[in-house]
Amino acid sequence: MTFSFFQVALICLIYMSALFAIAYCTEKGLVSSRIVHHPVTYIFSLGIFASAWAYYGVINLAAEFGYGALAYYLGTGVLFLFAPAALKPLMEIARRFQINSTADLLTFRYHSHSVGGIATLCMLFSMAPLIALQIQAVADTIHILTRNNGTSISMPNTHFDTRQLLALVYCLVVAGFAMMFGSNREHHRGLITSMAFESLVKVFGLCAIGLFAIFEVFSGFDGLNQWLANNPEHLENLNPPTANQSAHTLLLVFIATAVSMPHIFHMTVVENPMKNVTRTISWAFPLFLLVMALPIFPILWAGIKLGGQFPTEYFPLAVPIASGSTTFTLISFVAGLSAATGAIVAISLAIATMILNHWILPATPLRTHQEIYGQLIWMRRVLIAVVILSGYGFYQILANRFNLTDLALTSFIATLQFLPGVIAVAHWTRGNRQGLLAGLFTGMLIWGLGLLLPMLLDTRDASFDILGMHIQVGIAQWSAVTLWSLGLNTLVFVVVSLITHQSDDEKYSAELCAEDELSHPVRMALDVRSPEEMVERLVDRIGVSTARVEVDRAMEQLSLSASERRPYALRRLRDEIEANLSGLMGISMATEIMDTQVPFKVPEAEGVADINLMESRIHEYRHHLTGLAAELNNLRLYHRRTLEELPMAVCSMGKDMEVQMWNSAMERLTGITSETVTGSHLVEILEPWGDMLYQFATSDSEHFYKREIDLAGRTRWISLHQASIPSSIAEQVDGQVILLEDVTELQLLEQELMHSERLASVGRLAAGVAHEIGNPVTGIACLAQNMKYETDDNELLESVNHILSQTDRISRIVHSLVSFSHSGQQQDNEFHLVTLYECAQEAIDLIRLQREKGQTYFCNDIPQNLLTRGDSQRLIQVFVNLLSNARDACVDGGQITVGGQPLKDGVEISVTDNGPGIPQELQDQVLEPFFTTKEPGEGTGLGLAMVYSIVEEHQGTLDIISPVDKVLQKGTKFVIKLPSTLESDATTGNTSSSM
């Protein structure tokens, strides 16, 4: 069965067109977002791990190592099974700091640009055999389909034949695909979806060939069992005794692929679009690998049974060809093509990104007068093409002298040298750059001399003597090379890290990567005061338009405004800009730009803890805390909420006067929300609070009592108290806490009480004066009486009558003052009958004594014979308070009417004014103690409360009607209903008194 080159080219074109269509439709939003963002899509995209070697070469591995070949699946499966512990820390670091490659990760962790450049060089050498493997698999399968003449294809090819031409065209098409959908800045949604489709095709193809082998070659499971029974040597080969040690080494090699292979790291960590998919990965991807592993041995046995001249590694294609099935031959070829394509795209994207970020950009400054994003995209596209064509060149150099397994092991063992450094990223903070570079150099040197150099020299096994030691090298010695390179690499890394110094920056980065940045006590400071200043700082390095876009982008991500001035918010903005630039041009360039243009500086106060960062980080990880950590977090939240909900206004700040907490009571008191003030410097808080708090915080006093401030035109009095927050370090403090107490009502009450005391003193003095006045007035009255009876002179008698009238008026006034000075403390059983008219009239007479008030007219319309049982002095107090409030509510010329009428079971009295009335929303509050609408010092808000209390003592009720005039919306009427034990059948009489 053969195919023409045209047919094979058409098949490749159709498949690549399908990939292009899927990626394009995804990028344009034509594919449902439920499919694009579904965890299954992402899990299938990880199937690039199963490259062409996993489709073809693993068959050869199974023939050589039996069950040991399953190490390829078991190793990676175990790693993903423990993904929450092994992979999740790396995913979190990559997401948090926009890390795009293994080289970026190592650069960030070890805080060294040279680490990234060296790691990129090592990765380029490591991945060259793997790219050549994919190209060789495609070229060989094309050769099998087009020139199937029964001869071996393992012979060297020294001339550029049609197969190699098709392989070159294939590389160009794949390069075009990767350049189009893998060079933009964001997550490559189209790339992920197309890679998921590629994995689906690959799994379907491998499973289809496996079922074909069982049911077509062996006629079912019974036939397979019978064949194995007739050929027991094939079962014995599943566990060859000489392969046990090599199988263990294979397990070690493959268990590290997900964290050391750059393209697997890229898809697993960088392209992960979901935050909470780790738990799903931990079981779903091992299940995916299990499905991939199931057909391996049936295909191997089917290929052995059918025989032929095809290499073992190409049995997935040879089995349907030997069986004469065109359909399954095409399925197998497309599946293999799919496996190779996905691997090449992912590898080229990862390596191109590393070269751009760590070689090109540091050496070639960007042209800031042009649009930077376009420059970066085209650079990345060119590098993708260069990487793929370089892999093709390496394939040409090797010229099919090594099989797929040889190439795969060479590449995997090289990337294995990164394993110690990657593990130390999140799990060993003591590791440093000197140790990493020394260990990596040692491991790569052994790998280069033991595997790569012999491969380039076209030898599988060679030996030489060094210092009396006989050393064997070559791919045949891959197991020994693996153990020696990784072992010495790890040993050198650990030893050098322990004996060399770790810089402060590197130590800080190590703590960040270990998710232990909360242990770092120092909060750095910035010398910028606004986002606009950040734009101005970045213009010199990335241009005006890019600086504006990046700052606006970061502000949008953090929900910050352009007017933001809080130091904490600006620090977050700076970190977010650096993270975004890392995603754009790599962590190395982003760090260099930000450290140069917007550097952190040493804080003014030494050892300032970043409490806000601690709070945000703990809040972010609260769902992941378990055991004692969760209990400690709950305890923290309990105390935090206690302070937040405390009815006293509380704020705290660090030693540098940056606000750390601003509780809800503080928000109500100041009218400033916690979100706008937390992280601000104390002096930046809105007036009048900022200056007052700063003066108090920087003073030596522990208390400021009754500080007067003006709020919206009203004077308030605030008392402040402060205490230091002790540090865990002896004799040091971490900051201070300030408590604010609003004592305005207390201050006003004290002023009223002082005024009342003065009035009481005046009242006692007036009572004494009234008593003393009474004697001479009585004498004057007696003399006037004598004169009245001793003379008949009409003029003199008129004068005497005037004298008697005035002395009588003086006596009444003095009597009223003396009576009002009595407190009236009768109990209910001591109440007596009271004439309400006289009580109201005496209150009116007392109110008239206050001449400084405006001109007001009083009208007493209470019937003179309207009686009730009660305390006359207390009822006079009721009338005085109601009349005084009514007079204060009236303007000049106002009129106040006191009325009354008998009821069936009591009496009703009322006080009505023609003032502006009481608003409906305040009518339920005017009877509360200390509530007043008067200016400070004009009243205490106790008058109506006292009226209500006295009415209740008399078992009466008090109602408010306002407005009285519904048309003019003015006037207030207080209605009091008192019980009465006396029926009055007298006619109503009205007496009016006006002034």
Tens digits of per-residue pLDDT, 42-93? 778 777 777 888 889 888 888 888 887 887 787 777 777 776 666 777 777 7
Is residue 921 within 8 A of residue 931, CB to CB? The reply is no
CB atoms near residue 105 (< 10 Å): 29
Averaged confidence pLDDT in the chain:
79
pLDDT > 90 fraction of the chain, expressed in percent and rounded: 11
Task: Specify whether the backbone of 675 is left (phi greater than 0), alpha (psi in -120 to 50) or beta.
Answer: alpha
Minimum mean pLDDT range among 31-40, 553-562, 640-649, 718-727 = 31-40
Q: How many CA atoms lie within 13 A of 835 on its CB side?
A: 8
**3-state SS assignment for residue 15:** helix
pLDDT of residue 645 exceeding 80, the answer is: yes
Minimum mean pLDDT range among 356-370, 384-398, 564-578, 748-762 = 748-762
Instruction: Please state, in angstroms and rounded to a whole number, the distance separating the CA atoms of residues 904 and 82.
Output: 89
**Predicted structure pTM score:** 0.67
For residue 904, report the phi and psi dihedrals to the nearest 5 degrees.
Answer: -60, -40
Could you tell me which of 766, 861, 855, 879 has the C-alpha nearest to residue 815?
766
- Residue indicated by tokens 């190699």: 164
Instruction: Please state, in angstroms and rounded to a whole number, the distance separating the CA atoms of residues 519 and 637.
Output: 19
Instruction: Please state, in angstroms and rounded to a whole number, the distance separating the CA atoms of residues 398 and 391.
Output: 11
Distance of CA 56 to the CA centre of its chain: 46
Q: Which pLDDT does position 822 carry in this prediction?
A: 55
Could you tell me the pLDDT band of residue 939, with boundaries at 50, 70 and 90? Answer: low
Tens digits of per-residue pLDDT, 803-827? 877 777 677 666 666 655 554 444 4
Tokens of 500: 């060399």
Could you tell me which of 780, 667, 368 has the C-alpha nearest to residue 545?
368
Residues 6+ apart with CB under 8 A from 282: 80, 81, 82, 83, 84
- Residue indicated by tokens 């033991």: 450
Which helix (H) or strand (E) segment holds residue 915: the answer is none
Q: Which pLDDT does position 542 carry in this prediction?
A: 85
Strands 906-913 and 894-903 turn out to be antiparallel
812-816-822 Cα angle (round to 5)? 150
Minimum mean pLDDT range among 218-227, 413-422, 866-875, 916-925 = 916-925
- Residue indicated by tokens 């027991």: 232
User: Which amino acid is residue 70, in one-letter code?
Assistant: L
Helix axes 478-499, 419-427, angle to 10 degrees: 40
Instruction: Please state, in angstroms and rounded to a whole number, the distance separating the CA atoms of residues 865 and 875.
Output: 16
Tokens of 222: 């019974």
Tokens of 265: 């790291």
Tokens of 8: 């094979």
Could you tell me which of 474, 518, 745 has the C-alpha nearest to residue 613?
518
Residues 6+ apart with CB under 8 A from 208: 328, 331, 332, 335
CB atoms near residue 464 (< 10 Å): 10
pLDDT of residue 782 exceeding 70, the answer is: yes
Instruction: Please state, in angstroms and rounded to a whole number, the distance separating the CA atoms of residues 738 and 378.
Output: 57
Handedness of CA 512, 516, 521, 525 (dihedral sign): positive
CB atoms near residue 325 (< 10 Å): 17
Tens digits of per-residue pLDDT, 727-764? 666 566 777 888 988 888 787 777 777 766 666 666 66
pLDDT of residue 930 exceeding 70, the answer is: no
